[in-house]
Structure 1
Amino acid sequence: MEKIQQYLEHTLLSPTAGYGDYDRLVAEARQYAFLGVCVPPYWVKKVKRDLRDTAIQVVTVIGFPLGYQRTETKLDEVKYALRDGADELDVVLNLSAVKSGAWDWVKIELVRLAESIHQAEKIFKLILETAYLNDDELQRLCEMCGAYGVDYAKTSTGFAPKGAEIECVRKMRSWLPAHVGIKASGGICTFTQAKAFIEAGAERIGTSSGVAIVEESLKQTNT
């Protein structure tokens, strides 16, 4: 396997994290050369500025963590996140619309979000929150991701009763077209877990334990 940090989005979405915590996140991202960092919209401008001389991607969340905002509200969040320098946008699916069977409404929201994000030549990830989906819903959403402009399907916000699961990622990989990637997130804390999710089909790992994962991988490499 390539260096594990090339798969990792080093994440800090705690509601109580402050300035020093984001300084530490940036320093760790530089030290370990993570693929990206995932931060709340409030911190995008600072983190983008602090990483401006690197290739590290700045990822932020939209409609977080519940996803049931109006589409127009999400589009406004996208606009300001792009203005502040976000490279990738992880948008929470409207689960309430899914559970209501409002599939046409879900389609329209995905199309509008994809258009807004892709016009800026940025990456659109859709957070499915798989803990709340049955297989039929998950398969249909995977098919919609492929049809309506989603670049990555993401498993979880980290705020649901459970996060990423290996078998779920395997199902997603079988249902998603090849051009749509998978970001596994939620409860991934070790190198062994991260490696297993990558082997199951994930191209990205979202984790707040990025440093520990890289350190564990280095120890295994050196033994």
Structure 2
Amino acid sequence: MLTVKKIAKIIDHTILKPNATSLEITKACNECKKYGFGMIAINSAQVKFCKEQLKETGIHVGAAISFPLGQTTLETKLFETKNSIDNGCDEIDYVINIGELKNGNIKYVEKEMEAIVGLCHDRNIISKAILENCYLERNEIIELCKIALKIKPDFIKTSTGFGISGAKVEDVKLMKSIVKDEVGIKAAGGIRDLNTFLEMIDAGATRIGTTSSIKIIKEYQSSKGIQK
């Protein structure tokens, strides 16, 4: 049964806009502490700052790698991943190379996932591969899920939230039907209310990325008659 605490732990409280100031990042960190969100999702430049803000809270700091396009070399992604880990991040969300996938270069995409996930696992860091489903055909989503079953990132993720569309229930269901319970699923992008949040959870998502975290919590409290 869901509770306010359980919902908060599922949420990656997100502030990835390029013009976010230190004051806004601090505010987001304070919101994580107030509501007990599981993770703050930020660009890699803010990792060290957020780690200091959230020290001794148990709240994870998550770095977005090659965000939002995924169009950097594997070597660049590995450097950014290692740099983020060295700066104190607890989780990595990296964007796959969609262009290579579209080129039919499945081996490259698999090699990329193996290298980044391997680095994360060697350092005991949670890894998430962002598929960016809005640009993918159904067969491409299936192919990526099969690669994930082989490589075992901790999560596969629907979207960056910066593409032409965000998470879709049917995509989460498709991903879940392939990876089962072997790989977690993170839904992100366009999840702005409690109903959408619950639809994604029912479809099989086990982590939600959203900028509407507080709104979702308050809607749940209201739906249950919880005074806060």
Cα offset for 1:2?
3.4
Cα offset for 1:148?
1.1
Once residues 177 and 100 of structure 1 are traced to their aligned partners in structure 2, the CA distance between those partners, rounded to angstroms, is 28
Alignment of 1:156-167 (within 5 A): 156-167=159-170
Match of 1:205 in 2: 208
Contact 1:145/1:151, CA 8 A, preserved across alignment? no
Contact 1:143/1:177, CA 8 A, preserved across alignment? no
Match of 1:44 in 2: 47
Amino acid at match of 1:101: G
Match of 1:2 in 2: 3
Contact 1:146/1:177, CA 8 A, preserved across alignment? no
Once residues 109 and 88 of structure 2 are traced to their aligned partners in structure 1, the CA distance between those partners, rounded to angstroms, is 27
What is the aligned counterpart of 1:142 among 140, 145, 152? 145
Cα offset for 1:89?
0.2
Alignment of 1:3-42 (within 5 A): 3=4, 4-42=7-45
Cα offset for 1:79?
0.8
Cα offset for 1:157?
0.5
In structure 2, list runs of 5 or more residues that go unmatched: none
Once residues 177 and 193 of structure 1 are traced to their aligned partners in structure 2, the CA distance between those partners, rounded to angstroms, is 21
Contact 2:158/2:166, CA 8 A, preserved across alignment? yes
Match of 1:101 in 2: 104
Once residues 178 and 3 of structure 2 are traced to their aligned partners in structure 1, the CA distance between those partners, rounded to angstroms, is 25
Deviating runs (4+, > 3 A) in structure 1?
none
Alignment of 1:69-218 (within 5 A): 69-218=72-221
- Structure 1 SS opposite 2:209: strand
Once residues 23 and 168 of structure 1 are traced to their aligned partners in structure 2, the CA distance between those partners, rounded to angstroms, is 33
Amino acid at match of 1:75: L
Contact 1:110/1:149, CA 8 A, preserved across alignment? no
Amino acid at match of 1:8: I
Contact 2:152/2:182, CA 8 A, preserved across alignment? no
Once residues 94 and 188 of structure 1 are traced to their aligned partners in structure 2, the CA distance between those partners, rounded to angstroms, is 24
Cα offset for 1:177?
3.8
Amino acid at match of 1:2: T
Once residues 92 and 85 of structure 2 are traced to their aligned partners in structure 1, the CA distance between those partners, rounded to angstroms, is 9
Contact 2:157/2:185, CA 8 A, preserved across alignment? yes
- Structure 2 SS opposite 1:142: helix
Amino acid at match of 2:72: Q
Once residues 194 and 34 of structure 1 are traced to their aligned partners in structure 2, the CA distance between those partners, rounded to angstroms, is 14
- Structure 2 SS opposite 1:183: strand
Amino acid at match of 1:179: E
Q: Deviations over 1:148-204 (max 9, x none)?
A: 131100000111110000111011100114120000000100111111100110000
Q: How many residues align?
A: 223
- Structure 2 SS opposite 1:199: helix
Once residues 150 and 163 of structure 1 are traced to their aligned partners in structure 2, the CA distance between those partners, rounded to angstroms, is 21
TM-score (structure 2 length as normaliser): 0.96
